[in-house]
Amino acid sequence: MPAAPEMGSATSTFSTIFSFEKPAVPASTPSKVFRIGTRRSALARWQAEWVATALRANGAEVVLVPIVTRGDTNQAQPLGAIGGDGLFTKELQRALLAEEIDLAVHSLKDLPTEHVPGLLVAATPERAPTADALISRGGVTLTELPTGARIGTGSLRRRAQLWHARPDLTMHDIRGNVDTRLQKLRGGDYDALVLAEAGLTRLGLEAQITERLSTPRMLPAVGQGALGLECREQDAETRAALAQLNHPATHAAVLAERALMRALAGGCLAPIAALGIVNPSGQLNLSAVVLSGDGHTRLAAEGAAPVVDADTLGRRVAAELAAAGALELIDAVRRG
């Protein structure tokens, strides 16, 4: 289990959706047991256990509270067919607001960008690898896959980028946890899968990866590889504990990505991809693409700014994409 990232300096210039101003609390042992809400999947529990270990290292007492989300209970239909955004997060947020838990651990790529009154993302720990990963039968790469190869993915973003590179491929929806998907691949249901490298790495399955599909060929989902630690806005004790787990560079990167997503009103399921990176000089670079559903049209934009202007950078790059026709592409995908 990796050590918890060091906390960076807080700033009030970032979006209120991502607040890291450390509330004033007594310098004593926490007075409560922190209840962490988590989905039941192996990956979600790994992520929650990572956070629990980091909090315990700082002297906190922690328990995990399993919560079933709508996305977990319906494994038969594509995500877009059962309600779209928030399928893996709304029940966790409901439990937070009902004070059944004190914090929720989200895969940030699943967390909608709309602010929920009374809640805030109090920390984003250091990001894991952001790339998508191809896992194929026979160990063949994306360019080596045969014409018409069957790709298992439920992500419109992945489909569109794969079709942009290989329009001959056939795409098939796939649901279930990582092990279930790998079993379907081994059983011959698909010729290849595309999954997040971060999840495979966290589960110790990186040896399964055939090829890392990195930029510029494949940009990740907004927030991919990052965790969002959400709590009640007025819970000063939990906010103070979580502030110690924040990673400033990750925070700035995902803030820019999510500002872009919010400005485009795209939602987690739209064919939008973005990646923010803080370079060694402290400059934040943001690259983003929006694609048509069939991958034929690909609009790209990028920009750079100081990390304190992360939100502004995201909105500026989104405006460039919108001026090029991105909103029309997103609307066409929504209409099917």
pLDDT tens, position by position, 252-282: 999 999 999 999 987 767 899 999 999 999 9
Share of the chain above pLDDT 90, in %: 75
Residue 154 and residue 88 share a domain: no
Give the C-alpha separation, 32 to 240, whole Å. 13
pLDDT of residue 334: 84
CA distance 274 to 296: 18
Q: Is 104 within the bounds of a domain?
A: yes
Please state the rounded mean pLDDT for residues 38-43.
88
Is 28 among the domain residues? no
Residue that terminates a domain, selected from 213, 237, 272: 213
Does 256 fall in a domain?
no
147 and 94, same structural domain?
no
Report in angstroms the alpha-carbon separations of 200 from 4, 46, 79, 157.
20, 11, 21, 19
* 231 in the same domain as 111: yes
Indicate if 117 and 235 belong to the same structural domain. yes
Return the pLDDT at 13: 31
> Is 234 part of any domain?
yes
Q: Is the dihedral of CA 102, 108, 110, 115 positive or negative?
A: positive
Residue 221, in any domain of the structure:
no
- Asked if pLDDT for residue 10 goes beyond 60, the answer is no
The residue ranking higher by pLDDT, 68 or 322, is 322
Which residues are designated catalytic?
A: 110
The answer to the question of residue 96 being in a domain is yes
Does residue 79 sit in the same domain as residue 57?
Answer: yes
Q: Does pLDDT of 7 surpass 50? A: no
Q: Could you tell me if 242 and 183 lie in one domain? A: no
Tally of domains in the chain: 3
**The whole model's pTM is what?**
0.85
Judge whether 258 and 317 are in contact, CB under 8 Å: no
Q: Which residue has the higher pLDDT, 273 or 30?
A: 273
Same domain for 234 and 118?
yes
Q: What are the φ and ψ backbone dihedral angles of 53, each rounded to 5 degrees?
A: -65, -40
Q: What is the mean pLDDT of the chain?
A: 87
Asked if 39 and 122 sit in the same domain, the reply is: yes
202: domain CATH number is: 3.40.190.10
- Give CA torsion, residues 232, 237, 238, 243, to 10 deg: 110
Instruction: Decide if 121 is inside a domain.
Output: yes
**Residue numbers of the domain that contains 192:** 132-213
Helices (H), ranges, the chain: 42-57, 70-73, 90-97, 156-165, 178-186, 197-202, 236-243, 248-264, 310-323, 326-335
How many CB atoms neighbour CB 106 within 10 A? 26
Question: Is 189 found in the same domain as 122?
Answer: no
Same domain, 52 and 117: yes
Question: 50 and 157 share a domain?
Answer: no
Within a domain: residue 314? yes
Mean pLDDT, rounded, for 108-120: 92
Mean pLDDT of 198-224: 94
Return the ∠ at Cα 48 (arms to 103 and 271), rounded to 5°. Answer: 90
- Mean pLDDT of the 39-49 span: 91
Strand 103-107 to 33-38 pairing: parallel
Please give the share of the chain, as a percent, with pLDDT higher than 70: 85
What is the C-alpha to C-alpha distance for residues 321 and 298, in angstroms, rounded to an integer? 10
Assess whether 98 and 151 both reside in one domain.
no
3-class secondary-structure state, position 209: coil
